[in-house]
Amino acid sequence: MRKDFLSYNPPTIGDDERAEVMDTLQSPWVTTGPKTKAFEGALQEYLQAPSVVALNSCTAGLHVGLLALGVGPGDEVIVPAMTFCATANVVEHVGAKPVLVDVTPDTLTLSPEAVRAAITPRTKVLLPVHYAGHPAQMDELDALAARHGLAIFEDAAHAISTKYKGRMVGSRSNLAAFSFYATKNLTTVEGGCLSGDPALVEKSRIIGHHGMNRDAWKRFDRSGSWYYEVVLPGYKYNMTDVQAAIGLRQLKRLGGFQKRRREVVARYEAGFKDLAALELPVERPWAESSWHLYVIRLKEGALRIDRNAFIDELKNRNIGTSVHYLPVHMHPFYRDKYGYRPEDNPVAADAYARMLSLPLHAGLADEDVDDVIAAVRELVLANPA
């Protein structure tokens, strides 16, 4: 057994990031300024996106994006039940109704069949989540959106570097929101961005910076003007140059991070493929996952211990894990407000009861991965039903 505790998903931050932050702190700009602008440009190039605005979180991106799309009271937004609560919370924030629907059994991404059944005359947006870094079935969702005159807005919180049929998530004209939270494949500690059509992105930028028609960089630069006007009552969602400094260095390292993640995934696959009690994550042939999460599921009735006991036993062996996620329709707020029952989204509810996320990050050594594999194998082999 390991002597030290293996954290589930710590950030991979090194000397380059620290040096870039120190350079920022010694400069005249620590809030939104030249490094934020440079980070936006680098993200736009990496994502092959029409336009990008950097923000202080993915949640902020989802919020201002919905507002830019004109979503409000009386509207409905279709959201997968298997996602972090923020995806649905922002729909509540704009006064609309999140309609929580089920996911596909293999990838746990938004089910086109469930979407088709949930569309009503009030539906305005489809909000697919690229769960764990695996892309949703965008062709099918695009067809439904076109047929019913709906907007597509991608929650790409897990999906920096994800590709759908060879195309980078975030490269399309529809809005896509990314997260750079501490556990993400690329981190700015807190932070995110929104990509998409330049007009929608620019409107989102204004909403996310007090509704001002001129941000600080444009106002306080040597060539700028002090004068600005508030064109709508916006929010304080801008990214700082301190965050962007980390992001600039992280983006340069992202290719290496992703290579290591795929190596870890391959090692897990080889270590678990003979264990019939486990349902392993998949990557469909048309997908290139970012592998933000490695989620295994215990097969029903295959073991004499349940998921919670499995997690406790891994912790006793100094292996950290997590669960992604309690389905949104099972949270008290959504359950009580809309009357959802677990069985309303049975795939999500069943997956939740059996799932756990194993350590997956670029800082894992082969010995760490081997320790995880050994601990999981020991528990499975010692606890047959």
The alpha-carbon radius of gyration of the chain (Å, integer) is: 21
Among 253, 288, 285, 284, CA closest to 363: 253
Asked whether 189 and 244 are in contact (CB, 8 A), the reply is no
Residue 92, CA distances (Å) to 33, 71, 198 in order: 32, 10, 26
Q: Cis omega (within 30 of 0) on the bond before 338?
A: no
Specify the amino acid at residue 81.
Answer: A
Q: Which residues are designated catalytic?
A: 184
CA-CA-CA-CA torsion sign (95, 351, 369, 371): positive
Report the SS3 class of residue 9. coil
Q: Are strands 175-179 and 151-155 parallel, antiparallel or unpaired?
A: parallel
Q: Are strands 163-164 and 287-288 parallel, antiparallel or unpaired?
A: antiparallel
